[in-house]
Structures are given as structure tokens and as C-alpha cells.
Amino acid sequence: MDDKRNLIIAILLTGLILFGWPYVASTFFPTAAPAPATAPAKTESATGAATSGAPITSAAASKNIPLGEALRGSVRVLIETPKLKGSINLEGARIDDLVLLAHRTALPKDSPPVRLFSPSGTSKAHFVRFGWVGTGVTVPDDKTVWTPSATKLTPKTPVTLSWTNAEGQKFDIVLSIDEHYMITAEQRFINGATAEVQVAPFGLVSRNGQSPDPDTWNIHVGPMGVFNDEIVNINYDDVIEAPRGEVDYSTTGGWLGETEKYWLTALVPDQKVRINASFKTADGYYWTQMVNATQSKVAPGATVSQTSRLFAGAKEVETLDMYANKQGIPLLDYSIDWGWFWFIAIPFFWILHWLFGLFGNFGVAIIGLTIIVRLFMFPVAQKQFASMAQMRAVQPKMKAVQERWKDDKPRMQQEMMKLYKDEKVNPLAGCLPILLQIPIFFALYKILMLSIEMRHQPFILWIKDLSVPDPSAQLLFDLLGTGIILPAFIAIGVLPILLGVTMWLMQKLNPQPMDEVQKQVFAIMPWFLMFIMAPFAAGLQLYWVMSNVISILQQKWLYSRHPILKEQMAKEAEEKAREKAKA
């Protein structure tokens, strides 16, 4: 019995540390933001490549231009799709203005759409550029003004950007876009000169500063890629601390970019061409770059072209799956950090997605998923109950053994083992359901924390967004007009309170531990978890509350089928009443 209880306590405390410590550490022990790298600023050479080999933009790095002024101050080609709206700056051929029409910055319906890209020189500069490096040729740079074939890029109307250098060599970027988040760029070079030259296309993502989303132990935010069929996650600190502020890879196929909690920007090279990929930083800026590993020799009058792609949008599971499975972009669907238990999380997501389509309410879908999980676990729960029933039935004999040998611990353990053997009781049999529920809970945690499909989804009454904590405690203070903003760790809403109460009720139905220390630990556990879970998404809180309610109903039903256990529970209640009366 002691071994079983100790194992359960260890599992619970491990879960508490895993879930609670990141919040406690970030709240009470904040760390200073990393200092910007002190590498010297890079400037573009005549060929358009930076002196370090990265074709970066630094001309407007020190400015803080208002967004509207930056957009008005340049000639642009518009971008319009069902999900995207923005424009392309013809100076430098930068895709630097992009908003996601299907996703708002805040819950109110009049909130502006999420902005993914902003022009160079603005405080949140973030853009993509396609270009060339070369030998013996003047290539376009970030100041080159391109000539467009049309004024608007849509799924039905591609646009070609063209520029010809003084030697008569022509560069084309043929841009097309689909109805989701993928832009295709065919980079074409026509050698109109009289001598052979060498060129190689590149793609570049530039960003001023790090993502505003925190990079935590369980949600990766920052540089990532798929190199030689392997997923690679890199922290911002890894890039800052690397020699020259640069992390390099070489790969054939795959992709590279920067992931955020809900958004992704990814460069996808030609899957048959070997490229050099790099993540770089200097002066607070970050760059993601791909360039062909070798330059192509282009004879006079010859043409060379290569096609790459850019994903810029929301990490919608169905859309990412389509790109990965139908368009051959390896593991793009794993830009969502499903975690250790991805093999559980992914099927559960699709069940949740199906239920949402069926009911039209994500909260109801979570309740439906909880019921399905509990039905799936029912055979195991029955075995757990049988074990608990056996333990409860022999509890009086266990107490007798403990009383008789309380001064001889080794002998008491021997007698306990003999009692288990004689009564055919396995004290660890009830641990299996707990062990099985841990990966299920972690998988659901990942789904409910990372799924953009749940972002801004309401449930009922005061729960307007299941992806954020239950706001009822703060709403009460707001209604009272106090002006007080509650810290997250004491903003205990209705759902966290229900979580604590239902866990307490579950404990009352379980056999009570014999050890007094364990009794105290189990007594405070529901209320400790109530505080730990308060800052988590309301969707996760809802799942746990419903799981507890179903467990309570299940145990009540199973107890009703075992009259002997009902009598035992009644006796235990009478003993407790007598002990209280004596006290």
C-alpha cells in the first residue's frame, strides 16, 4: 500500500513540477532578456550579398518609421486572397506587408487582423526577399526597383517582377499565390551578356527582434527547420551564442523558417537542390536564409530558373497537412509542436475537430472528447476500481497489522506482503490507469494550448475564449468597479474552483492512505492543483473538470454494484464521526 501511495505521490508531484514550475519561475524568478549580439553591422556589397554572405538589409535598421508612412512611401503590388491581404514593395522586391484576414489580434469582432509582415524601418519589421548572389555579374540588391507585370497578386493572377542590369542580363521573379498561405517564387536569370557568369538564388526572412511569444520548455518559438528529413528546433539563445552569431546547416530538401505559437514563416527550397541554410543575428535583428550550395554556370544567351516557396500564415492543422502530404513539403505539419505524445495528440485533435464540426461549439466538443476518452479508459478504470475495492476490503486487517507491528517496521512490511498474498491483493494494480492518463493528459494539454482552431472560440456565458484562462474572477472585480487587475496566480475562476472541488470529492471516494503524512499531502493536493491550473487555458480546465465529474459518477455507479463496499464505507464514516466526537 505504501509503495502504491508513494508512486502516486511521485507521479503527481512530477506533473505539478512540469506544469507549475515554468509559471512560478517566470512569475517570481524572471530572467533578463539576452543582450543584443555585438557583431559589427553588415552592409551590402555591389553584388547584393552582405560581407558575411547574408543578403541582409541594414539601410533603415536604425529608424522607427510609422507603419502607415512606410506603406505610403513606396510603390507596391497588392496581395489579395481569401485569407491574406497586403502588398509587395517594388524596392528590393520585399514581401513586407501581410495580414491574416481569418485571425484577429483580440477577441472583439472589430479587432484588426493579425499582422505577420511589416516593412523595413518599422519597429516590428518582418519581411521576405528573394534574390541572387553571383560571380562576374551585377545582381539586384535591396535598393533595386523592380518592374511588375500587374498591379495585384491573387490566386488567379500571378505577377512577374523584372529587372535588367547595365550588361543586359535580366532577372525575373514570377510570383503566384494559392487560396491559403503559400507563395511560389520562380527565380529566373537570362544571360544577355557576352560572357559566362555564375549565379545562385537565395531566399531570406528578416526580422527586427524576437517573436513576442515566449519560448518555453513545452512550446518552441523561434528558428526551426527540417534538414535531411530531421526536425531541428533552435532557440534564439543558440543563435546569439553561436560563433559570429550564426548557425549553419546543409541539406537537400526540407524547409527552414521561424515558428511562433500560432504563426509560421517558412522558406521551402526546390526539394532536389542542395542548399546552405543559416540562422543569423546581429544588432537585435534575426535572419533566416537559404542559398544554393553551388552557383550555376550560365553561358551567354542561356536561361536558368529555380522555384522555391514561402509559407506565411497560421498553423492550421488541416492546411499544414495538405501542404505536407499533397505538395511534398516534408514534416511541415510538425511545425506544430505536438510534443512527446504526438501519436496520441494528433488522433485526438482530429476527433476534437470532428466534434467541433458536429456541434459548432468548441467547449461542447471538449466535453464530447472527454466522454470518448473516459469510455476508452473504462475497462482499465474497472480494473482500477476492482483493485481499490480489494484494498478497501482488507483495510481493517491492514490496520491491525500496522498496530501490532508498529515498532518493528521490517516485520510489518513482511506481514503486509503476506496479507497481500493471502488476500490476493496487488497494491500496484490501481496505478495502471494513472500511468495511462499521464500521456493522454499531456497530449490534450498540447492540443488545447497550441491549436489555433481553439483560439478565440467561446463556450458558454462568461467563457468567450477557451484558449485563455477562465476570466470569471477578474470579471467580478471589473463589475465591482475596483480597477484592480488580479495577478494570474490568484485569479481563481469558476472552472479552477470546480476542478479543486471535484478532485476533493474523488479523493473522498478512494481508500484513504494509512500514513498521516500522505493523508496531509492528499488533503491539500486538490487545492494546490486549483491554484496551479488557474493560469492555464479554460479549455484544459474544462476537460479536467469533466473528467473528474465522469470519474465520480463512474465510481458511484461501481460502488452501487458492490453492497459490501457500501457497508465498508458506511463503517468508515461512522468511525470518523466517533473520532470527531471524541476530539
Confidence tier at 115 by pLDDT (50, 70, 90): very high
pLDDT (tens digit per residue) in 232-282: 999 999 999 999 999 999 999 999 999 999 999 999 999 999 999 999 999
The residue out of 328, 363, 379 marking a domain boundary is: 328
Is residue 281 domain-shared with residue 426, that is, in the same domain?
A: no
Indicate whether 316 belongs to any domain.
yes
Q: What is the mean pLDDT of residues 150-161?
A: 97
SS3 323: helix
pLDDT at 21 over 60: no
Work out whether strand 274-282 and strand 246-252 pair parallel, antiparallel, or are unpaired: antiparallel
Closest CA to 100 of 260, 323, 312: 312
Indicate whether 5 belongs to any domain.
no
Rounded distance, CA 228 to CA 283, Å? 31
Single-letter amino acid, residue 168: G
Is residue 324 domain-shared with residue 350, that is, in the same domain?
A: no
Is residue 312 domain-shared with residue 354, that is, in the same domain?
A: no
The residue out of 298, 328, 358 marking a domain boundary is: 328
Is residue 367 domain-shared with residue 226, that is, in the same domain?
A: no
Rounded distance, CA 346 to CA 504, Å? 31
Cell (9 digits) for 216: 518555453
Is residue 303 domain-shared with residue 447, that is, in the same domain?
A: no
pLDDT (tens digit per residue) in 375-423: 888 777 777 666 666 676 677 777 787 778 877 788 888 878 887 777 7
More confident residue, 81 or 556: 81
The CATH number given to whatever domain includes residue 44 is 2.70.98.90
Indicate whether 337 belongs to any domain.
no
Q: For residue 23, what pLDDT is reported?
A: 46
Q: What is the mean pLDDT of residues 356-373?
A: 93
Q: What is the mean pLDDT of residues 120-145?
A: 94
Residue written as cell 528578416? 206
Indicate whether 525 belongs to any domain.
yes
Is residue 120 domain-shared with residue 84, that is, in the same domain?
A: yes
**End-to-end Cα distance, the chain:** 28
Say which DSSP state 403 is in. H
Is residue 372 domain-shared with residue 416, that is, in the same domain?
A: yes
pLDDT at 434 over 70: no
Q: What is the mean pLDDT of residues 150-162?
A: 97
Domain count, the chain: 2
Rounded distance, CA 366 to CA 540, Å? 9
What phi and psi, each to the nearest 5 degrees, are found at residue 191? -85, 95
Indicate whether 28 belongs to any domain.
no
Beta bridge partners of 276: 250, 291
Q: What is the mean pLDDT of residues 544-573?
A: 74
More confident residue, 476 or 550: 550
pLDDT at 489 over 70: no
The residue out of 297, 328, 359 marking a domain boundary is: 328
Q: Report whether 8 contacts 434 (CB < 8 A).
A: yes
Is residue 68 domain-shared with residue 187, that is, in the same domain?
A: yes
Lowest mean pLDDT among 17-31, 117-131, 140-154, 472-486: 17-31
Beta bridge partners of 200: 133
Work out whether strand 159-164 and strand 255-259 pair parallel, antiparallel, or are unpaired: unpaired
Is residue 350 domain-shared with residue 323, that is, in the same domain?
A: no
Q: What is the mean pLDDT of residues 19-30?
A: 43
Q: What is the mean pLDDT of residues 543-571?
A: 76
Which residues are CB-contacts of 461 (< 8 A; sequence separation ≥ 6)? none
More confident residue, 582 or 30: 582
pLDDT (tens digit per residue) in 518-538: 667 777 888 888 888 888 888
Q: For residue 54, what pLDDT is reported?
A: 43
Single-letter amino acid, residue 32: A
Rounded distance, CA 384 to CA 13, Å? 21
Is residue 287 domain-shared with residue 350, that is, in the same domain?
A: no
What phi and psi, each to the nearest 5 degrees, are found at residue 572? -60, -40
Is residue 248 domain-shared with residue 375, that is, in the same domain?
A: no
Indicate whether 13 belongs to any domain.
no
Lowest mean pLDDT among 34-43, 47-56, 74-83, 297-306: 34-43
More confident residue, 168 or 25: 168
Work out whether strand 152-153 and strand 76-80 pair parallel, antiparallel, or are unpaired: parallel
Indicate whether 113 belongs to any domain.
yes
- Give the domain extent around 356: 345-578
Is residue 192 domain-shared with residue 314, that is, in the same domain?
A: yes
Q: Report whether 267 contacts 55 (CB < 8 A).
A: no
Indicate whether 194 belongs to any domain.
yes
Strand (E) or helix (H) holding 76: strand 76-80
Q: For residue 324, what pLDDT is reported?
A: 95
